[in-house]
Amino acid sequence: MSGIYTLFADVLDYPRADVFAQAGQLAASVEEGAESANLLLRFEANVRGMTLGELQEVYTASFDMRPDCSSNLGCHLFGEDVRRNLFMAQLKERMTAHKVETGVELPDHLSLVLRLLDSLAVEEERLVLIEDCLVPGVSRILSALNQSSKSCPYADVLQALVISLKDKTGASVTISGNHRETIP
């Protein structure tokens, strides 16, 4: 099953040759004029002039070289606590059941969790994954990216994702400083 969160997963995964087309597809799939659409269009405009290699360098510098911005959500939710291992085991079990291929990534990788979200049919499971995992984890990544002195185009995608997730749950989102904060 492919949906909006799989499109977010494609754009937020390590960039491949089709990332530029995926960014356009994601921006086109969001309601025109919505704040998240504007953020996605800004991301698309910011990366349009980049080569794939340049975007890969930005991705690596943003997520792989900064532990506070790791794409592994369990790090943000549990740190080095043993609960992260339990969390990953549960995610892996659900991913296997829903045929979400993990490849070389750990099961708590943002892109994999987004693909799992799109594969879940039970709304209650989707909401739990959004409220307990995705919103707090992505919000922490976004906050860390926004505290950096260097601007990161991926912050726009993460902000659009948080808006989309919060819209799904009906929770409110407010703007604070350079980024939006979620209000439980």
Domain that includes residue 132, residue range? 4-183
Token reading at 41: 């269009």
37-50 burial string, b = 16+ CB within 10 Å, else e? bebbbbbbebbeeb
Residues in the chain: 184
CB-based contacts of 65: which residues, under 8 Å, 6+ apart? none
Structurally, how many domains does the chain consist of? 1
pLDDT at 177: 37
The model's pLDDT over 128-172, given as tens digits with 9 standing for 90+, comes to 999 999 999 999 999 999 998 788 999 999 999 999 999 877 764
The structure's pTM equals: 0.89
User: What is the CATH number for 137?
Assistant: 1.10.3480
The model's pLDDT over 89-123, given as tens digits with 9 standing for 90+, comes to 999 999 999 999 999 999 999 999 999 999 999 99
